[in-house]
Amino acid sequence: MERKWQTNHGFGEGWGVAPGLDVAGDFTMKAILLSRTGDPSVLEYCDVPTPRPGPGAVLVKADTIGVSRPELLVRRGVYPWMPPLPAIPGIEMAGTVAELGAGASRFAVGQKVYVTARELPVRAGCYAEFIAVPERALFALAPETDLEAAACLSNYQVAWHLIHTATRGAPGKSVLVGQASGGLGSAAVQLAKLAGMTAIALVGSADKARALQAYGADHVIDDSSEDVAARVADITGGVGVDLVLDAAGGASFARYLEMLGPFGLAVSYGKLIGAIEANVVPGLDKGPGYLNSTAVRIFTIHTLDDKPQVRAQSMNDLIAKLAAGAIKPLIHTRLPLKDARRAHEMIEARQVIGKILLKP
């Protein structure tokens, strides 16, 4: 299919290319192209020009591409940090260095690396066989690293900051993780345990409960069949948890306030249902929320957009944990890159337990 390629879309010249990088017009690669927003059918699997690394840049060949919820928001056209269209969506991939641009010296051809679009000018570019990025944006991986596990690191980075940054370094001894069966929720369960916390996984079905029990959560609560507040009270001996992590928002967020112990913190980091509602205020102003000096925080990873050193701190720690085998992502399935539509459909249908990966 012949296409007229736009070059002023924020990546510079070429798809998945940072500003100032060149494009080789003689070769094409397979990629997912988003030309208009809408349902999963707008994701096109097609041939696009293969990028070439310009000065100080590196061409990465994808081994595994992670699928994350921000990509669904980009596809729908509601993400506040939308890339200019047309664009290749995707915020992370793990692969190997395929080519070095002039002056690039930090990496070697064949070396394993991780790409996160949080280090790029726009949040896109990874649903492709290749991506060219400035070498400063790459993270080196140990030779023994499992590239499929590495392609889940974006979830772990958010979870790391939910536990260590949103809490100002004092997460407490126990955490209730909402939506724990997703890629990010399961990462939070694992990182909480690594931090020495009691991890209580909150899920929405019996199948998901079994999966999180097998994954190692200390306790699992099935919201579809159990009284969550009663179970939390039973698990904590009536004291309550120190930390709640919730991605749903909406009117249900306020229910967590009475499940928190003294000086407990409830963190809202998503709006799967909608923005948290005004019913939070009375929950903080009376009853357990008031007596326990309860706190609420709204968290977004975009607070760190202008803090590359803070982002690097979390990523370097996670890469070390990955190399040591401490991080073992919960992977739902692996799909061919051409089936990106199916991946989005599965997430929207709430059929996923863990992370979906795409293979070029």
Going along the chain from its start, the domains and CATH numbers come out as 23-152+329-359 (3.90.180.10), 154-301 (3.40.50.720)
Least-confidence region, from 190-204, 270-284, 313-327? 270-284
Q: Which is it for the CA torsion 93, 95, 100, 103, positive or negative?
A: positive
3 state SS of 244: strand
Average pLDDT over the chain reads 92
Q: 193: exposed, middle or buried (C-beta count within 10 Å: 0-12, 13-18, 19+)?
A: middle
- Give the whole-angstrom CA distance, residue 277 versus residue 157: 27
The DSSP secondary-structure symbol of 128 reads B
Q: Which is it for the CA torsion 34, 37, 43, 44, positive or negative?
A: negative
Question: CB neighbours of 305 closer than 8 A, spacing ≥ 6?
Answer: 118
User: Position of tokens 């009536």?
Assistant: 238
Q: Which of 103, 23, 71, 93 is nearest to 359 (CA)?
A: 93
Q: Look at residue 27 in the predicted model and tell me its pLDDT.
A: 87
| Tokens, residue 41 | 């059918």
Phi, then psi, of 151 in degrees rounded to 5: -75, 5
pTM of the model: 0.92
Q: Look at residue 26 in the predicted model and tell me its pLDDT.
A: 61
Dump the DSSP string for 47-92: EEEEE---TTEEEEEEEEEE--HHHHHHHHT--TTPPPSSB---SE
Q: Report the b/e string of 279-315 with b at 16+ CB within 10 A.
A: ebeebbeeebbeebebebeebebeebeeeeeebebbb
* 63-119 confidence digits (pLDDT tens): 999 999 999 999 999 999 999 999 999 999 999 999 999 999 999 999 999 999 999
Q: Look at residue 16 in the predicted model and tell me its pLDDT.
A: 42
For the chain, count helices (H), then strands (E): 10, 15
Q: Which of 198, 152, 190, 203 is nearest to 171 (CA)?
A: 198
- Percent of the chain past pLDDT 70, that is, above it, reads 93
* 5-20 confidence digits (pLDDT tens): 332 233 333 344 433 3
- Give the whole-angstrom CA distance, residue 286 versus residue 352: 38
